[in-house]
A and B are shown apart, each in its own frame.
Chain A
Amino acid sequence: MRILRFLLLKEFSQIFRNKSILALIMVMPVMQLIILPMAADYEVKNINLAIIDQDHSTYSQQLITKITSSGYFKLSGYDNSFHEAFQYIESDKADLILEIPQNFERNLIRENKQHVFIAVNAINGTKANLGGAYLAGILRNFNADLRLKLIGNTKLNPSPTIEITASNWFNAYMNYKVFMVPGILAILVTMIGGFLSALNIVKEKEVGTIEQINVTPIKKYHFVLGKLIPFWILGNVVFTIGLFISWLIYGIVPLGNLSVLYVFIWVYLFAILGFGLLISTYCETQQQAMFIMFFFMMLFILMGGLFTSIDAMPSWAQVIAKFNPATYFIEVMRMVILKGSRLRDILPHLIKVMLFALVLNTWAILNYKKTT
């Protein structure tokens, strides 16, 4: 115990003396939580639309007004021929072209039928898909209005339609940020914990101070605990700052009990710090540790369900996601914060993360050799 106290004292003096690390720990969560959720947004706005209106009629004007007033589209071109409009797509100024043919209004009224043409620039898949869908939606809506106007009340001319009423649970306004912020915070804590623990020990190897430690009668688990505990505390600090920021800026208040989140993060931090430790036992230089950690962080971020739903991944990818501790953390964050899950609900996650912590730390201690 006494030895551990000396190790902790040393570790904390070093951390508090290293101003850049300290700033990183404090500033990184704030900046990332402010910037990332604003930018990482699935909702597509500002779709550039080029319109070819060959009709110049009241109806075509009405349609164009309806589209532009939806707020999703920006009119980037207004032309007379497809050839002209296509140049907008080629020069990347337009994502969509809507072609309203000649005699649009006349055909609508006389023949009750008219085609419009949409061309989609599919290089940016998400934008193209959603843009096309939005535009189709607006057209459907326009269509319904027209029917009403031309045919009159449907009571007199019954044509069966299904109207859909949906209600969104747990995130009533489908606010993308409410969904993203807890996930980003999870990744943030993972990154800070993983990198700090991996780099710190490798630094001692690089500088040579670990030699001096290895000739002392200090026990392996003393040394490892002396490294884990300071970063565990720092991880908790970062997590708390993150929760505070998400409340302050996004007004996110966990529906569930905060203590459930903390119980989980306590165990989770041991898992992720153990992982950093394990990497450090295999590396000789900070550069190696950095690259290996980076490789795993990419996996953690992209295969942890932060941006893409795990259920939608191919089954082999789902297997990888199961071996990713960040998966469970991101899920638990969303469960507790959005859904108000209780300890009982997250217990399976907690147990899995405990296993991670146990395996990774044991492995790290076994692989840390005082004698080579």
Chain B
Amino acid sequence: MKEVVIQTEKLTKRFGDFIATNEITFDVTKGEIFGFLGANGAGKTTAMRMLCGLSLPSSGKATIAGFDIYKKTEEIKKNIGYMSQKFSLYEDLTVLENIRFFGGIYGLSNAQLKSKSEALVTELGLDKEAKKLVGSLPLGWKQKLSFSVAIIHEPKIVFLDEPTGGVDPLTRRQFWDLIYKASDKGITIFVTTHYMDEAEYCNRICIMVDGKIEALDSPTNLKKVFNTNSMDDVFYQLARGAKRKE
């Protein structure tokens, strides 16, 4: 039995009368690439924000890396990385400055910062851009940098909220290469996406409709259950039942 790093039980978030996520229950094991799918407004981001400790759940239970989501938010934060929908590195800092800053506030030593930033810049092929402002980079590079910064402190889990939105197919492939590399190192990946080809890259996927989990299994099994050979079709069959409008 593999180590469980994310465990939720009937996790719910209400905003007034609106139930954004409705009693979701699932486990994610160490090193897994866990895909979170759903139409816009299905409750993916809300769920992820709760798991990251950015938003307090209304009810239900969850532990992240063994820490309780209500009581140990600060402990959780030491063990996770997060990349939001919105690009959120500092555009008015250079590539190196961003790496050093985020590495620094995660408590990396000077030696670690030095070796990490060198390795990272080389890995991303940003040698020439290292001293340029992040704001001047193309979106695809920004997203790759953002991901690398999110895992700079080698967290147990990294949460990616639509990391490849608006990125070209080639860069998306490169991005997934980075994800696989991180996964090989034992980092658990929790990723939301709208791209069905990306869903195929995940070990397991969870499809949310109207705040509830409607399906959770490996892509192969899901296709079998829904009697189709494309993830697109699985998604359409489920999402068609959605009552919520965007």
Seen from chain A, the residues whose Cβ lies within 8 Å of a Cβ on chain B are 2-3, 5-7, 9-10, 13-14, 17-18, 207-209, 211-218, 370-372
Q: Which of B73, B86, B93, B105 contacts A218 (CB 8 A)?
A: B105
Q: What is the CA–CA distance of A372 and B92 in the complex, to the nearest angstrom?
A: 27
Contact B53 A216 (CB under 8 A): no
- Does B226 reach chain A (CB closer than 8 Å)? no
Interface centre among A3, A7, A217 (most CB of B within 10 A): A217
* B 45-85 contacts with A by CB, 8 A: 52-56, 73-75, 77-78, 80-82, 84
- Does B88 reach chain A (CB closer than 8 Å)? yes
- Does B26 reach chain A (CB closer than 8 Å)? no
30 sampled A-B residue pairs with Cβ under 8 A:
A2-B107, A3-B104, A3-B105, A6-B100, A6-B105, A9-B104, A10-B93, A10-B97, A10-B101, A13-B93, A14-B90, A207-B86, A207-B91, A208-B84, A208-B86, A209-B88, A211-B54, A211-B82, A211-B84, A211-B86, A212-B88, A212-B89, A212-B102, A213-B105, A215-B53, A215-B81, A215-B82, A216-B77, A217-B106, A371-B56
Contact B82 A212 (CB under 8 A): yes
Q: Which of A2, A17, A213 contacts B104 (CB 8 A)?
A: A2
Q: Which of B54, B89, B97 contacts A214 (CB 8 A)?
A: B54
* Category for how many chain B residues contact A: 20 to 34
Residue in A closest to B149 when the chains form the complex, CB atoms: A212
- Does B87 reach chain A (CB closer than 8 Å)? yes
Contact B88 A207 (CB under 8 A): yes
Residue in A closest to B55 when the chains form the complex, CB atoms: A372
Which B residues lie within 8 Å of A214 (CB)? 54
Contact A14 B92 (CB under 8 A): yes
Seen from chain B, the residues whose Cβ lies within 8 Å of a Cβ on chain A are 52-56, 73-75, 77-78, 80-82, 84, 86-93, 97, 100-102, 104-107, 133
Which A residues lie within 8 Å of B102 (CB)? 212, 216
Contact A208 B87 (CB under 8 A): yes
Q: What is the CA–CA distance of A185 and B77 in the complex, to the nearest angstrom?
A: 44
Contact A371 B105 (CB under 8 A): no
Which B residues lie within 8 Å of A2 (CB)? 104, 107
Contact B54 A215 (CB under 8 A): yes
Known contacts A211-B54, A371-B53: does B86 contact A10 (CB below 8 Å)?
no
Contact B107 A215 (CB under 8 A): no
Q: What is the CA–CA distance of A211 and B82 in the complex, to the nearest angstrom?
A: 9
Q: Which of A9, A215, A371 contacts B101 (CB 8 A)?
A: A9
Which B residues lie within 8 Å of A213 (CB)? 105
Nearest-neighbour CB distance to chain A for B176, whole angstroms, equals: 22
Q: Which of B78, B88, B97, B133 contacts A208 (CB 8 A)?
A: B88
Interface centre among B52, B78, B80, B105 (most CB of A within 10 A): B105
